[in-house]
Amino acid sequence: MKFGLIDRVLEIEPAKRIVAVKAVSLGEEYLAEHFPTFPVLPGVFMLECMAEAAAWLVRAGEDFAHSILLLKSAKGVSYKSFVAPGQVLRVEVTCLHLSPQESRFSGVGHCGETEVVKGRFALTHRNVSGNGATPGDVDQRIVEALRRRWSIVYPESDVGAAQVAG
């Protein structure tokens, strides 16, 4: 299953800092099981929101050089409160280190004024065609789809679907 949790990027300084939001809706399938009588955004999804925001930060900073950005590690992640349907999780992620192969971040998530999650984590940067290899056709198709998604989550960007086609 592949889906994006980030609904909108509010602010970005490419390769440095990003602020993004995830609106939690009762219509999201996973809430039926987590928990049936007390639906809340799973903690791992809070971390995934920070990782997705970080991935957008890397893509914007490296002009979409990699087709795949994966969570490599997470350290010191703490969960302080629940995020329920109807609430908006606002994540702020700061880049601590960025290289072609990996990146490290610190992140924090809030609902209103309440801090609900924070931690440090790392992403690994890959291409389907292999690390260090020139991106291939599959990588290019993935990057084109990512650029289209980027134009939706961050419409203020000058990297839109028209740029992908041209």
Catalytically active residues are 34
Q: Output the CA torsion 70→67→125→115 (10° steps).
A: -40
Compute the distance between CA of residue 141 and CA of residue 134 in angstroms, rounded to an integer: 14
Four-residue CA torsion sign, 140, 160, 52, 38: negative
H/E segment holding residue 55: helix 43-61
Tell me the helix, strand and coil percentages in the chain, rounded to 5: 25, 35, 35
Query: In one letter, which amino acid is 142?
Result: I
Residue 73's beta-bridge partner residues? 122
Peptide bond into 38 cis (omega under 30): no
